[in-house]
Amino acid sequence: MPTKQICETAMEAVADVRDGDSLLVHSFGPPQAWPTDCLLALAERGVKDLTVVCNTPAGGPTSLNILAPKKQIRKLVCSYVASPTLVTEISEQVKAGEIELEMVPQGTLIERVRAGGAGLAGFYTPTGVGTETARGKEEREFDGKRYVFERAIRADWALLQAHAADHAGNLVYRRGMRNFAPGFAMGARHTIAEVKEIVPTGSIDPENVVTPGIFVDRIVKTTTHIDVGVLRFILSSVGRVNNMEGRSVRDGGPTGLPADLMAMKAAALLRDGEYVNLGIGLPTLVSNYVEGRGVTLHAENGILGYGPFPPEGEEDVDLYNASGQLVTALPETAYFDSTVSFAMARSGRVSTVILGAFQVARNGDLANWSLPGGGGGIGGAMDLAAGGARVIAMLYQLERGGRSKLVETLDYPATALGCVTSVVTDLAWIDVVDGDFLLREIAPGVTADDVRAATGAPLRVASDCREMQFG
């Protein structure tokens, strides 16, 4: 039995990483589950001109941002790099052109790495068809549906964090932390696992091994541990939706729904017994209003069947959704990796997706990943929309400058074409029917004329239009 190299320090583990190497760096983006010790060692060594593949560089003292001060990254391949509320050193370097950026849909990214680890050249996917991400790529039609070809990714090194490893290199993960790690372990020529615990060979039940030791070369015990109080502060400042006050439709006019009532309305549109994915931002609040409905929530980082946000003092740092928010487990909860999670979405098993949006066009085209001028993040939305699920867009109907987000045609980059079936805003519930917006329900205190004035495209009013119902 080959015994893996057990390193005393992260500096020893990354000693062979050279200038110009490519790295797969695991973490879904929250502060936890980063191979932080290895990143700190690379920063201390000053290794430069690195190509880094990750879900997102994120920010904070545990993340890829560790490599920013010395400008060690030459190219970044990721699904999310920046947001208006989270400016980091890396996002600023990308904006300044100091880091070359390749944006890839989240499910496509992990599948490209998995394909590389499986010895495949690439694959065809429906994700991104008709959008900027498909530009210049080969496209083919199978069974009447369009697909684009995506090349596999293989890297020199994978840096990942697992919960435990034995001396044979077998790895186990805990709850939501595995996400990209199993695929990344396969997709590199050399894999370094930074773990919370190293146990004797035989201590891990073979049935529980997620990453077999054949994919792991070096193991080092982490010295970085996340304090739940610090984590709580970070997530409350960048992850949760705290503004529960409605916005005025116009000066002196009525006020729209606050965020919690928007979430309650979106939850009311769900069907009992279906599988539902909640996008980042406003949609995450829907998790608080589905209890007892038989609705199973799905998260791209690899959780099926999770509950609402936990009370303070009952958080589990390894139990978080795709937005990085701490959530609760249920009796039916299952954990897996992101390749399985996106397979559930692309195959149509996830039946409804609730997404935030910058714009929705009258024909159902969706834009929710990039503002004009660049930036933003694709995340998992393109893959989620590619599986034919019912897509509900949840958004404030007007931008803060007063411009409508419901438009004739998109002028923001498209996420997916013709995918939105319903829109829940602070003013109304509107369906997309035969290429038009159809007003179904109106928020209390708001009139149909108010909704029409806040819509940048023709709006039809249903014959049975009524005041909004929340149950």
pLDDT-derived band at 359 (thresholds 50, 70, 90) equals: very high
Task: Decide if 68 contacts 89 (C-beta within 8 A).
Answer: yes
Rounded to 5°, the CA angle 87-131-453 comes to: 75
Cα 428 vs. chain centroid, distance in angstroms?
27
- pLDDT higher than threshold 70 for residue 237: no
Neighbours of 135 (CB within 10 A): 9
pLDDT tens, residue by residue, 399-432: 988 999 999 999 999 999 999 999 999 999 999 9
Average pLDDT of the residues in 220-226 = 92
CATH superfamily of 5-226: Glutaconate Coenzyme A-transferase (3.40.1080.10)
pLDDT in tens, 147-196: 999 999 999 999 999 999 999 999 999 999 999 999 999 999 999 999 99
Residue 451, phi then psi, degrees to nearest 5: -65, -45
pTM of the complete model:
0.92
User: What is residue 254's predicted lDDT score, i.e. its pLDDT?
Assistant: 80
Average the pLDDT over 220-243 and give the result.
69
Structure confidence at residue 239 as a pLDDT band (50, 70, 90): very low
Q: Are strands 390-395 and 328-335 parallel, antiparallel or unpaired?
A: unpaired
Q: Which of 390, 397, 382, 400 is nearest to 437 (CA)?
A: 397
Average pLDDT, the chain: 92
Range 237-467 has CATH code 3.90.1720.10: no
Range name among 161-175, 192-206, 310-324, 336-350 with the lowest pLDDT average: 310-324
Tokens read off for 389: 């699920």
Residue 240 burial (C-beta neighbours within 10 Å; 0-12, 13-18, 19+): middle
Q: What is the percent of the chain with per-residue pLDDT over 90, rounded to a whole number?
A: 77
pLDDT digits (tens, 9 = 90+) for 252-271: 778 899 999 999 999 999 99
CB 69 within 8 A of CB 43: yes
Q: pLDDT higher for 32 or 351?
A: 351
pLDDT, residue 236, reads 58
Q: Identify the pLDDT of residue 125.
A: 97
How does pLDDT run across 10-67, given as a tens digit for each residue? 999 999 999 999 999 999 988 889 999 999 999 999 999 999 999 999 877 899 999 9
What pLDDT, on the 0 to 100 scale, is given for residue 146?
95
Residue 286 has pLDDT above 60, yes or no: yes
pLDDT, position 85:
63
pLDDT at 240: 47
**More reliable by pLDDT, 248 or 24:** 24
Q: Are 107 and 345 in contact (CB under 8 A)?
A: yes
d(CA 115, CA 109): 10
Q: Identify the active-site residue in 111, 194, 300, 315.
A: 300
Judge residue 331's burial from the number of C-beta atoms within 10 Å of its C-beta, 0-12 exposed, 13-18 middle, 19 or more buried.
Answer: exposed
Q: What percent of the chain shows pLDDT beyond 70?
A: 94
Query: Does the structure show a pLDDT above 60 at 242?
Result: no
With 90 as the cut, is the pLDDT of residue 2 above it?
no
Annotation says 300 is catalytic = yes
Determine which of 134-148, 224-238, 259-273, 368-382 has the lowest per-residue pLDDT on average: 224-238
Report the alpha-carbon distance of residue 135 to residue 150 in Å, rounded: 11
Location of each CATH 3.40.1080.10 domain in the chain: 5-226, 237-467
**Residue found by looking up tokens 């998790």 in the block:** 287
